[in-house]
Amino acid sequence: MHQAEPWFSSLRRTRVTCPTFADLPELTARIEQFRAAWNETPEPSTWTPASFEKVLARTQADLDQAAAQRAEAA
């Protein structure tokens, strides 16, 4: 997983839920508030073999499901 993905996921879930902002300056302010709060208590990502295997299994399941859907559509 890319390091930025958890950051953007948290931003989207907590501060930028559509359509909760009126204009670009408000959106920019919310992102800046989130960034400031995130940087107060940064937590590095910690990979373990189990978490890596979980990501791989989920990815394979998604690929299998997509292949099945393509086969049904054909």
Helices (H), the chain: 4-14, 24-40, 49-73
User: What per-residue confidence (pLDDT) applies to 19?
Assistant: 67
Q: How confident is the model at residue 64 (pLDDT cuts 50, 70, 90)?
A: very high
pLDDT in tens, 4-27: 777 778 878 777 776 677 788 888
Angle at 18 between CA 6 and CA 20, to 5 degrees: 110
Domain edges within the chain: 1-43, 48-74
- pTM (2 d.p.): 0.48
Q: pLDDT digits over 29-57, tens only?
A: 888 988 898 888 877 767 677 777 888 88
